[in-house]
């Protein structure tokens, strides 16, 4: 959940007329509910390469079976039980390994709030099944890191192209926008997402 104020809204508005128009158009954007890092990671692993609709159905089955998504509830079952919810064998292995890693102390999330945004991403990417995009989404939406701007996020790229009228979006152009909005890139991304989601 990204916590931001009018201060950040004003900051990004001053950086671009396009962003100013988006902020005026959408106002303050809600950013979802509180979730802990473990359950967010499990949900993200399940959802990789799936549509939101399918991922939500499978996560719903998993929650029905386990109750809360915690290392303890996951480890009370085996990989076959996890797979029975419609999860691939590889993803089930990732989820089991994540749960074991937390229980054994290989993964410790409580100290991440003292890390920089990039340190958080690097730490999360150590986890099997967690690539850069997944780590960035956890950092942004679960931990509320304020300076995430994910080049690998198709929705963000599409929102940027729509907002600025770009036919294509080069890495150089993307990095130019990142530089412009830092240290409030996550807040800027919310407005590009909102535009992309608008029908």
Q: Do 66 and 86 touch, CB atoms closer than 8 A?
A: no
- Neighbour-count burial for 127-157, b at 16+ CB within 10 Å, e otherwise: bebbeebbbbbbbbbbbbbbbbbbeebeebb
CA 164 to chain CA centroid, Å, is 23
In 10 A of CB 63, how many CB atoms?
16
Residue 56's pLDDT band (cuts 50, 70, 90): very high
Pinpoint the residues of the chain covered by CATH 1.10.340.30: 37-142
Pinpoint the residues of the chain covered by CATH 1.10.1670.40: 6-31+147-197
Residue 33's pLDDT band (cuts 50, 70, 90): low
In 10 A of CB 87, how many CB atoms?
23
The pLDDT tens digits of the residues spanning 141-177 come to 999 999 999 999 999 999 999 999 999 999 999 999 9
From residue 118, alpha-carbon distances to 105, 148, 193 in Å are: 22, 9, 21
What mean pLDDT is predicted for residues 23-30? Answer: 95
Q: Is 192 exposed, middle or buried (0-12, 13-18, 19+ CB in 10 A)?
A: buried
pTM, entire model: 0.89
Whether residue 34 has pLDDT greater than 70: no
Q: Tell me the CATH number of domain 37-142, given options 3.30.465.10, 1.10.340.30, 3.40.190.10, 2.30.30.90.
A: 1.10.340.30
Whether residue 113 has pLDDT greater than 90: no
Would you say domain 6-31+147-197 falls under CATH 1.10.3720.10? no
Strand, coil or helix: 198: coil
Q: Do 127 and 109 touch, CB atoms closer than 8 A?
A: no
Q: Give the C-alpha separation, 12 to 170, whole Å.
A: 21
């Amino acid at each position: 959940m990204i916590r931001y104020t009018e201060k950040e809204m004003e900051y990004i508005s001053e950086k671009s007329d396009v962003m100013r128009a988006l902020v005026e158009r959408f106002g303050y954007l809600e950013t979802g509910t509180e979730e802990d890092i473990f359950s967010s990671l499990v949900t993200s692993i399940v959802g990789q390469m799936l549509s939101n609709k399918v991922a939500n159905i499978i996560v719903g089955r998993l929650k029905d079976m386990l109750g809360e998504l915690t290392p303890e509830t996951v480890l009370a079952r085996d990989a076959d039980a996890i797979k029975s919810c419609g999860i691939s064998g590889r993803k089930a292995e990732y989820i089991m390994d994540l749960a074991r890693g937390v229980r054994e102390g290989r993964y410790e999330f409580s100290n991440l709030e003292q890390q920089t945004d990039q340190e958080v991403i690097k730490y999360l990417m150590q986890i099997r099944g967690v690539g850069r995009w997944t780590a960035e989404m956890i950092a942004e939406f679960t931990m509320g890191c304020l300076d995430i701007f994910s080049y690998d996020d198709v929705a963000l790229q599409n929102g940027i192209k729509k907002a600025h009228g770009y036919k294509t979006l080069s890495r150089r152009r993307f990095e130019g926008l990142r530089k412009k909005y830092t240290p409030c890139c996550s807040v800027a991304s919310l407005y590009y997402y909102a535009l992309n989601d608008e029908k």
